[in-house]
Amino acid sequence: MQLILEKIKKYKFVFSELVKRDFKKRYKRSVLGVLWSMLAPLFQLMVMTFVFKRVFGRQMEHYTIYLFAGQLVFSYFKEATNTGMSSIISNSGIITKVNQVFLSFVIGISQGLQPITSFNYGAKQYRRVKESYLFAITCGFLLALTAFLLFQFAPRQIISIFGNGSEEYYSFAVNYFHIFLFCTFINFMQPISSNFFTSIGKPKRGTFLSLTRQIFFLLPLLLIIPLFIGIDGIMYAGPIADSLAGIVSIIMIWREFKQSEYLEK
């Protein structure tokens, strides 16, 4: 319990930013705005008072006050529990969207590689298949290396593009970039290799490889690592999953290119 309270205190600024964001989002384009948050429980109280006092004949002095006090506490804990449990996960995209920009270029490379390798593999031009894959991997590596350097050495400048926040917010975001996106330099291997296997008529290997990072590695790590090091484990799960998916991709590609047809001149 003490550890949980320490983590909450350490990241209280994160919760503060999420509360501000949810508050603006909830009452955006609302005619009544914040007033609705007071009218809704008031209408509910009026309905419950009518039902219990008039319909069921509940005769008790100050019954409406007792009912209001109980309903207020119940509603508070219900909303706090329901929204609090999902607030961190549902708002994780605030920062990770930056990584999606990089991944979109990598996916573009993998999609461009697919028809080339598919045609040459069908024509039994295995040397061209290998050369095309290596060229795509080289482009992906240069792009990933550029993204890695930007994420590690200029995260504050990237964050400033999307808005402003407190110094604590910037500190957390920079730390998030440094840890969660640390293995960006190997992130290109999985999507390119997955599409490569699909293009040469081996969809089972491609499907397996496409599931490695998100399903086989990241989700279990998100559940396991925080049990040992707390909420920081969520950030460390990212680079571990990236590195494991990259290693699996390298092993599978190495085994593919060891086959005899690729060794022929």
Question: Tens digits of per-residue pLDDT, 152-167?
Answer: 998 888 877 766 666 7
Question: Same structural domain for residues 151 and 232?
Answer: yes
89, 111, 139 - which closes a domain: 89
The amino acid at residue 254 is W
Mean local confidence (pLDDT), 31-39: 65
- Check whether residue 145 and residue 44 sit in a common domain: no
Q: Identify each DSSP E strand in the chain by its residue range.
A: none
- Please indicate, yes or no, whether the overall pTM of this predicted structure exceeds 0.75: no
Whole-number pLDDT of residue 117: 94
User: How many domains, the chain?
Assistant: 2
Are the beta carbons of 160 and 123 closer than 8 angstroms? no
What was the pLDDT predicted at 140?
94
Indicate whether 105 and 85 sit together in one domain. no
Counting Cβ atoms within 10 Å, is residue 146 exposed (0-12), middle (13-18) or buried (19+)?
middle
Residues 33 and 118 in one domain: no
Q: Which domain holds residue 64?
A: 2-89
Q: Does 254 have pLDDT greater than 60? A: yes
Q: Is the pLDDT of residue 72 over 80?
A: no
Q: Are residues 71 and 103 in the same domain?
A: no
Say whether both 121 and 239 belong to one domain.
Answer: yes
Under the banding of pLDDT at 50, 70 and 90, the label for residue 141 is very high
pLDDT above 90 as % of the chain: 37
- Residues 106 and 77 reside in one and the same domain: no
